[in-house]
Chains A and B, each alone.
Chain A
Amino acid sequence: MLGKRAKEKIRLNIMRLLLIIVTFVYILPFFWMVSTSLKADQDLFLIPPKWFPIPPEWSNYKNAIEYFPFFTYFKNSLIITFGSVLGTLLVSPLVAYGFSKIYWPGRDFFFYLMLSTMMLPFAVTMIPTFIIFKKLGLVNTLWPLIIPSFFGVPMHIFLIRQFFNTIPDDFIDAARVDGASELQIYWKIMLPLSKPILLLVGLFQFIGSWNNYIGPLIYLTDEEKYPLALGLPLFLDRYGTHWNWMMAASTLAITPIVIFFFFAQSYLIEGIKLTGLKE
């Protein structure tokens, strides 16, 4: 008969084994991508496949870059992403303040109105929004992908408001008694206290904009304005049969995400729990 502790140890080791298998499965497509990106043409068709292409065929990257203007796409992705992050960080906390620290009649109505819009499918508003931007002459520019964030993003407003609600009112009332204006309180008290949530919201917006595919697809037609979201599928259309080039391009496109993830991982993992769950 095994003791309780020995049993628990066996159980944990079974879990560890399962986790190693699952982790392996989750990393596999990316391993296969990098491995393919370093294979010579004739090695693509080997059965069984070479797991580690030795010697690595670095010229795939040279060829990919030649047909795949990675840096143009990357630059456009960066502009869209940083523009949107700036917009949401400037505006979303401002709106959240109005929903949290000022008590006014009708506030709850507008707050629930905002929450209900979070469930609205993008496709419902897509066409008239496109027509608005077309009439403004902004189609085929990066603006339609940036401007909306300057009107506040409901999900982010919600998250920041939840954070603001945890900051005691006495604090703010004291400042009000001392004659501080709401804008001063917002700027000098609330924002400095809210750095963790602002960082998180910034990261969420970064991922949202960087990963957005349908937006650029609708608004952009010139290839030199394409972000990675359109550049990579374009490469797939044109050179998709050169699988080693294709995977080299994919590896290049994913590298920024890997770097981003490396730095943001711990914030994201803590922060994702806040999305709609916690009080």
Chain B
Amino acid sequence: MSPWPPPRGPFKSTLKIGGRKMRKYQRRNFVKGMLFILPWLIGFAVFTAYPIIASLYFSFTEYHVTTKPQWVGLENYKKLFNDVLFLKSLTNTLYYVAGLVPIGLVVGLVLALLLVQPLKEIVFYRGIIYFPSIVPAYAFATIGIWFFHPYLGFINHILGFFGIDGPMWLSDENWAKFTIILLSQWGAGGTALIYMAAIKDIPRELYEAAILDGATRWQMFKKITFPLISPATLYYLVIATLGALQIFDLPQIMTGGGPANSTLSYVMYLYRHAFTYVNMGYASAMAWILFIISMFLTFLIFKTSKRWVFYYGARR
């Protein structure tokens, strides 16, 4: 089992484009292949390659769309690192990543371990737990505000019932980010399903052998389940980290960045500069810094993965 990069097809390319001259049928297949992928290739050029280069160029300019970009060199980058709000949005975002990624992993994994139990009504639980993860964030945000409302919300009613004076949640700058992280856990069903599939793929014999050796449940989880689902964990870490770095919908709708900019995320601040202040050069510089951060984190995850990702049946 190999999650990433996905395995090559049955065909291994032994041909080099630049090197030997292509034979006639190869040339014909080349043309055919290119024609089939042409729509994507055009889309790639127009909506991916060009924008990456263009935003790099814009990041060195002052650009307000209506007038031509004016070259300013490194000015935008210099300004950014003296911009208090930029630094605030960056640290907020790192806080989101540090909270969302590990908490989401634990919640998803615990849900998966519950959902693989051989109960006849399991489909019912699975459906309900998965449902919130396809509810759009813009709808869940409105429900979330009301659910966590400091005075009238459900959560504080329940806490009050137990004699606990609930926090102000989204209205308290020390709690707001955490509230958003907590609310995001209603979307953990997707992760749970991926883990569920990985757990079901583990050969039964391994557990049977472990039981014969007198292993406890916790030992089996630590020594069998967790290592064998590590490819799913790798997939989760990459997707969740990239997702958390770009968190936007929930804080944008629920708090608009407040209170006291405590929930302002990186992409929210980028969006503000690009589309509220129409300050495209400055926003492009932010986009490129985000690009570099996300490449760095992805690289870091893949780099360490060689040490902890285990492919059952594959040679190490």
Nearest CB on A from B18, distance (A): 10
Interface check B202, CB cutoff 8 A: no
A213/B248 contact (C-beta < 8 A), A18-B114, A105-B22, A124-B290 known: yes
Chain B positions within 8 Å of A233 at CB level: 138, 141-142, 253
List B contacts of A240 (CB < 8 A).
Answer: 145
Instruction: Give Cα distance in the complex from A272 to B128, angstroms.
Output: 16
Q: Which of A125, A186, A261 contacts B134 (CB 8 A)?
A: A261
**B137 lies within 8 A of A213 (CB):** yes
Choice from B137, B198, B284 contacting A127 with Cβ under 8 Å: B284
Residue B126 interfacial (CB < 8 Å): yes
Answer whether residue A117 sits at the interface, using C-beta atoms and an 8 A cutoff: yes
Q: Is the CB of A32 within 8 A of B146?
A: yes
Q: A91-B39, A250-B142, A261-B134 are in contact. Are A279 and B51 (CB under 8 A)?
A: no
- Residues of chain A within 8 A of B11, CB atoms compared: 103, 107
Query: In this complex, what residue of B is CB-closest to A206?
Result: B134
B129 at the interface (CB under 8 A from A): yes
Residues B119 and A119 in contact, CB atoms below 8 Å apart: no
A253 and B139 contacting across the interface, CB-CB below 8 Å: yes
A95-147: which residues lie under 8 A (CB-CB) from chain B? 95, 97-100, 102-108, 110, 112-115, 117, 119-132, 134
Chain A residue nearest to B273 in the complex (CB): A127
- Known contacts A165-B10, A232-B138; decide if A123 and B246 are in contact (CB<8 Å): yes
Q: What's the Cα separation between A20 and B124 when bound, in Å?
A: 10
Cα A18 to Cα B112 in complex, Å, equals 12
B3 within 8 A of A: yes
Would A29 and B144 be within 8 Å (CB), given that A214-B271, A277-B198, A279-B7 are in contact? yes
Binary contact readout B11-53 vs A (1 if CB under 8 angstroms, 0 otherwise):
1010111000010001001101111110111111011101110
**Complex contact B44–A117 (CB within 8 A):** yes
Say yes or no: is B178 at the interface (Cβ < 8 Å to chain A): no
What are the residues of chain B within 8 A of A174 when measuring CB–CB?
A: none
**Residues of chain B at interface, number, CB under 8 A:** 112
A189 CB within 8 Å of chain B: no
A189–B1 CA distance with the chains assembled, in angstroms: 28
**Interface residues as binary, A207-239 with B (CB distance below 8 Å gives 1, 0 otherwise):** 100110110011000000000111011001000
Question: Across the interface, do B129 and A22 meet the contact criterion of CB distance under 8 Å?
Answer: yes
Instruction: Determine the residue in chain B with the shortest Cβ distance to A90.
Output: B39
CB distance from A247 to the nearest CB of B (A): 6
Pairwise interchain contact A148-B43, C-beta atoms closer than 8 A: yes
Which residues of chain A have C-beta atoms less than 8 A from B146's C-beta? 32-33, 36, 243, 246-247
Report the separation of the CA atoms of residues A170 and B199 in the bound assembly, to the nearest whole angstrom. Answer: 34
Q: Roughly how many angstroms separate A161 CA and B119 CA in the complex, as a whole number?
A: 35
Interface size, chain A (Cβ < 8 Å): 103
Residue in A12, A100, A108, A277 whose beta carbon sits within 8 Å of that of B3 in the complex: A277
Across the interface, which residues of B come within 8 angstroms of A3, CB to CB? none
Q: Which of A's residues lie within 8 Å of B, judged by CB?
A: 12, 15-16, 18-20, 22-23, 26-30, 32-33, 36, 44-45, 47-49, 91, 94-95, 97-100, 102-108, 110, 112-115, 117, 119-132, 134, 148, 150-152, 154, 157-158, 161-162, 165, 169, 182, 186, 207, 210-211, 213-214, 217-218, 228-230, 232-233, 236, 240, 243, 246-247, 249-250, 253-254, 257-258, 261, 265, 268-269, 272-273, 275-279
A-B contacts, 12 listed (Cβ < 8 Å):
A15-B114, A105-B22, A105-B30, A110-B37, A124-B290, A125-B48, A127-B274, A129-B51, A211-B137, A229-B138, A277-B231, A278-B1
- Partner-A contacts on B (CB < 8 A): 1-11, 13, 15-17, 22, 26, 29-30, 32-37, 39-44, 46-48, 50-52, 54-55, 58, 65, 111, 114-115, 117-119, 122, 124-132, 134-147, 149, 152, 154, 157, 160-161, 186, 189-190, 193-194, 196-198, 231-232, 235, 238-239, 242, 245-246, 248-249, 252-253, 267, 270-271, 274-275, 280, 283-284, 286-288, 290-291, 294, 298
In the complex, besides A12-B117, A123-B286, 16 extra interface pairs with C-beta distance below 8 angstroms are A48-B157, A94-B39, A102-B32, A110-B41, A115-B6, A117-B48, A119-B238, A121-B291, A125-B51, A126-B287, A151-B39, A186-B36, A232-B138, A250-B142, A261-B131, A277-B3
